[in-house]
C-alpha cells in the first residue's frame, strides 16, 4: 500500500510518476480522489476534535457547578454537541473506509533507477549467459517430445480437467519431482529456510501481497468458505508474519517454499494454447525475503543471483531482463526477469521474476520490525522481496527442448541424475 503521507506531502510528484513513468492515468485519477478524501478526513477529524475538546471543557464545568438549574442547562447544551460529534465520527469512519479502499488500488511507485518505458517492448536485456545449444537436426517442441516419449499426456489432461491441463507420467512426473527437490536443496544451501505452506489462504492474505482487490478475476476461490487457492507461494509465506513486530536481529529472514499455483489465465483465444507454457495449475519453487529497508536493493541482487544459480547448474542458456516502469507488476518497485531459451518453440521463456516491493506489501500486511533492542524503539516496516527459483513448467520445457537428441530421447542434466535414481537419458 502506498504511504498516504507520501501522497499528502508530495502530491504533484506522485501524480506525475503515475502519468509519466507508469503511464497509468487511472491510477492518477484514483490518487487525486484519495487526496480529496484525505483532505476531507483531516477536516472532519479537526472538527470532531474541536467539539470533543468543547465537550470535555463543559464536562469539567458541569462537575464544578453547584447550582442545579445551571447544571441542567449545561447538560442540555451538551446534548446537541454529542449528536454533532456522533455525526462527525460516523462521517469520519465512512471517509476513512473509502480512502483505505482507494489506497489499496494504487500501484507501488517505481524505484528512481528503473528505466521509464510504456510496455515490455522497452524492457532491456542486462546480459545473456551460456551458449545456445547446437543441433544437427531441427529441434522439436516439447509437446512432440513429451508425447512421443509417453511422458506428457495432453489429451487425458483435457479429458479430466479441461483446456490448459495435462498429465505428467512416468519419467515426466519423476523429472518434475526431481526438479522440485533439487531446487529446494540448492536454495537451502544458499541459506534459505524451507516452508511448506497451505495452498489455500484467507482473503486478507491476498490483500496483503497486492493480489486483491485489483486481480480478483485471476484467482480461484472456494464458493462457500473464505479460501482462495494460492497463485504463488509468495502469498502464504509473506503472510506468515502478518500483523507482527519482528525483532530486528532476526532480519534478514529468507524462506523458500514449493507450492502448486492456481491462476485463471484469462488470455486471448488461441494464445499459448499448445503444450505446457501456460496452464491454470502449475508448480513453482518460490524465494521470499524480509529485510531492513536499507538492505533491500542489495538483497534484490542476491535474490537474482540465487535464481540464476539454478539455470547455471542446469547449464541452460538464459538472459536477465530489467523491467521498465510500464512492465512492473502492481506491487513491485523494481523487478528483473530471467528468461531461458527453448529451441523447440524458438522463444525466450520467463522462468523467474525477482522483485523488490519496498514497504508496499509490509504496509498492507502490517509486517514491522523493531530496529534496536529497546522496546520503546518505534517499529518500522520491513521490505519484502520474492523471486521464483524456478517456475516448473517452463523449466521442464527448457530441459526437454535443449537436451533432446536426434533419436527422440532426452539427456538428463547431470545435477538431476542423483534425484532420478541415476537415470541419464529419458
| Residues 96 and 241 grouped into a single domain | no
Q: For residue 350, indicate whether it is catalytic.
A: yes
Which domain CATH number covers 371?
3.30.930.10
Contact residues for 8 (Cβ-Cβ < 8 A; gap 6+): 35, 38
The set of cell numbers assigned to 236 is: 502464504
pLDDT recorded at residue 66: 59
What SS3 state is found at 229?
strand
Residue 114 within any structural domain of the chain: no
| Residues 138 and 278 grouped into a single domain | yes
Picking from 275, 228, 259, the residue whose alpha carbon sits closest to that of residue 388 is 259
Residue 346 within any structural domain of the chain: yes
Neighbours of 346 (CB within 10 A): 10
> Domain span at residue 86?
4-104
pLDDT recorded at residue 268: 45
The one catalytic residue in 41, 242, 363, 394 is 394
Residue 426 within any structural domain of the chain: no
- CA dist 252 and 292 (Å) reads 7
Domain finish residue from 48, 80, 104: 104
Domain finish residue from 59, 75, 104: 104
Contact residues for 49 (Cβ-Cβ < 8 A; gap 6+): none
| Residues 300 and 406 grouped into a single domain | yes
Over residues 102-111, mean pLDDT: 94
Residue 35 within any structural domain of the chain: yes
- Average model confidence (pLDDT) across the chain: 91
Residue with cell 497486492: 210
Query: What does the pLDDT look like over 387-426, one tens digit per residue?
Result: 999 999 999 999 999 999 999 999 999 999 999 999 999 9
Residue with cell 449528536: 83
Domain finish residue from 38, 73, 104: 104
Over residues 282-296, mean pLDDT: 97
In the chain, the number of structural domains is 2
| Residues 168 and 89 grouped into a single domain | no
| Residues 242 and 391 grouped into a single domain | yes
Contact residues for 252 (Cβ-Cβ < 8 A; gap 6+): 289, 290, 291, 292, 295, 299
| Residues 257 and 382 grouped into a single domain | yes
Picking from 291, 304, 306, 300, the residue whose alpha carbon sits closest to that of residue 382 is 291
Query: What does the pLDDT look like over 199-246, one tens digit per residue?
Result: 999 999 999 999 999 899 899 999 888 899 999 999 999 999 999 999
Which domain CATH number covers 36?
1.10.287
What single-letter DSSP state applies at residue 153? E
The one catalytic residue in 353, 370, 388, 401 is 353
- CA dist 301 and 289 (Å) reads 12
Cis omega (within 30 of 0) for bond into 152: no
The set of cell numbers assigned to 328 is: 512492473
3-state helix, strand, coil in the chain (%, to 5): 45, 20, 35
pLDDT recorded at residue 372: 78
Residue 104, classified by CB atoms within 10 Å of its CB into exposed (0-12), middle (13-18) or buried (19+), is middle
- CA dist 196 and 184 (Å) reads 11
| Residues 198 and 61 grouped into a single domain | no
The one catalytic residue in 164, 242, 254, 263 is 263
The one catalytic residue in 8, 19, 278, 292 is 278
| Residues 239 and 275 grouped into a single domain | yes
Q: For residue 329, indicate whether it is catalytic.
A: no
What percent of the chain clears pLDDT 90, i.e. is strictly above it? 76
pLDDT over 50 (residue 63): yes
Residue 215 within any structural domain of the chain: yes
pLDDT over 70 (residue 359): yes
Q: For residue 181, indicate whether it is catalytic.
A: no
| Residues 29 and 135 grouped into a single domain | no
Residue 113 within any structural domain of the chain: no
Residue 110 within any structural domain of the chain: no
Rg for the chain (alpha carbons), in Å? 27
Picking from 149, 141, 147, the residue whose alpha carbon sits closest to that of residue 409 is 149
- Name the band, by pLDDT with cuts 50, 70 and 90, for residue 126: very high
Rounded to two decimals, what is the model's pTM?
0.90
Over residues 120-137, mean pLDDT: 95
Contact residues for 161 (Cβ-Cβ < 8 A; gap 6+): none
The one catalytic residue in 264, 329, 350, 411 is 350
| Residues 74 and 34 grouped into a single domain | yes
Q: For residue 278, indicate whether it is catalytic.
A: yes
The set of cell numbers assigned to 402 is: 535443449
pLDDT recorded at residue 59: 66
pLDDT over 80 (residue 78): no
What is the DSSP track for 288-351? EEEE-GGGHHHHHHHHHHHHHHHHHHHT--EEEEEPPGGGS-SS-SEEEEEEEEETTTTEEEEE
334 has which bridge partners? 356
Query: What does the pLDDT look like over 40-58, one tens digit per residue?
Result: 999 988 888 877 777 767 6
Residue 261, classified by CB atoms within 10 Å of its CB into exposed (0-12), middle (13-18) or buried (19+), is buried
Residue 111 within any structural domain of the chain: no
- CA dist 2 and 102 (Å) reads 10
The set of cell numbers assigned to 184 is: 529446494
- CA dist 109 and 18 (Å) reads 8
Q: For residue 417, indicate whether it is catalytic.
A: no
Query: What does the pLDDT look like over 310-347, one tens digit per residue?
Result: 999 999 999 999 999 999 999 999 999 999 999 999 99
- Cα–Cα separations (whole angstroms), residue 261 to 229, 233, 333, 364: 8, 7, 23, 22
pLDDT over 90 (residue 152): yes
pLDDT recorded at residue 58: 64
| Residues 151 and 181 grouped into a single domain | yes
Q: How far is CA 37 from the centre of its chain?
A: 27
| Residues 37 and 180 grouped into a single domain | no
Amino acid at each position: 500500500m502506498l504511504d498516504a503521507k507520501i501522497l499528502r506531502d508530495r502530491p504533484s510528484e506522485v501524480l506525475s510518476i503515475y502519468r509519466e513513468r507508469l503511464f497509468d492515468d487511472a491510477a492518477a485519477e484514483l490518487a487525486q480522489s484519495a487526496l480529496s478524501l484525505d483532505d476531507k478526513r483531516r477536516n472532519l477529524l479537526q472538527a470532531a476534535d474541536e467539539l470533543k475538546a468543547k465537550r470535555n471543557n463543559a464536562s469539567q464545568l458541569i462537575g464544578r457547578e453547584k447550582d442545579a438549574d445551571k447544571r441542567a442547562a449545561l447538560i442540555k447544551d451538551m446534548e446537541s454537541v454529542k449528536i454533532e460529534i456522533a455525526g462527525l465520527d460516523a462521517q469520519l469512519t465512512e471517509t476513512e473506509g473509502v480512502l483505505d479502499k482507494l489506497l489499496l488500488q494504487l500501484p507501488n511507485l517505481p524505484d528512481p533507477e528503473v528505466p521509464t518505458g510504456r510496455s515490455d517492448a522497452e524492457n532491456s536485456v542486462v546480459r545473456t549467459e551460456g551458449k545456445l545449444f547446437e543441433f544437427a537436426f531441427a529441434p522439436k517442441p516439447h509437446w512432440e517430445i513429451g508425447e512421443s516419449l509417453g511422458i506428457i499426456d495432453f489429451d487425458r489432461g483435457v479429458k479430466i480437467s479441461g483446456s490448459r491441463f495435462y498429465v505428467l507420467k512416468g519419467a515426466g512426473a519423476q523429472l518434475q519431482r526431481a526438479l522440485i527437490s533439487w531446487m529446494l536443496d540448492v536454495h537451502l544451501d544458499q541459506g534459505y529456510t524451507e516452508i511448506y505452506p497451505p495452498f489455500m489462504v484467507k482473503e486478507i492474505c491476498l490483500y496483503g501481497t497486492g493480489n486483491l482487490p485489483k486481480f480478483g478475476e485471476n484467482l480461484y476461490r472456494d464458493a462457500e468458505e473464505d479460501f482462495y487457492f494460492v497463485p504463488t507461494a509468495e502469498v502464504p509465506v509473506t503472510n506468515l508474519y502478518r500483523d507482527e513486530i519482528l525483532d530486528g536481529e532476526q532480519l534478514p529472514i529468507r524462506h523458500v517454499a514449493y507450492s502448486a499455483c492456481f491462476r485463471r489465465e484469462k488470455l486471448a483465444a488461441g494464445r499459448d494454447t499448445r503444450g505446457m507454457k501456460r496452464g491454470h495449475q502449475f508448480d513453482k519453487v518460490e524465494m521470499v525475503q524480509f529485510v531492513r529497508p536499507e538492505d533491500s536493493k542489495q538483497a534484490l541482487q542476491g535474490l537474482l543471483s540465487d535464481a540464476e544459480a539454478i539455470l547455471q547448474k542446469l547449464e541452460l542458456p538464459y538472459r536477465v531482463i530489467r523491467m521498465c516502469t510500464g512492465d512492473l507488476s502492481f506491487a513491485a518497485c523494481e523487478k528483473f526477469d530471467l528468461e531461458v531459451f527453448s529451441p523447440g518453440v524458438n522463444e525466450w521463456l520467463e522462468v523467474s521474476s525477482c522483485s523488490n516491493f519496498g514497504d508496499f506489501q509490509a504496509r498492507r500486511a502490517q509486517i514491522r520490525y523493531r530496529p534496536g533492542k529497546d522496546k520503546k524503539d518505534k517499529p518500522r516496516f520491513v521490505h519484502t522481496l520474492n523471486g521464483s527459483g524456478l517456475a516448473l513448467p517452463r523449466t521442464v520445457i527448457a530441459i526437454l527442448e535443449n537436451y533432446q537428441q536426434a533419436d527422440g530421447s532426452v539427456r538428463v542434466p547431470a545435477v538431476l541424475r542423483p534425484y532420478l535414481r541415476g537415470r541419464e537419458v529419458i
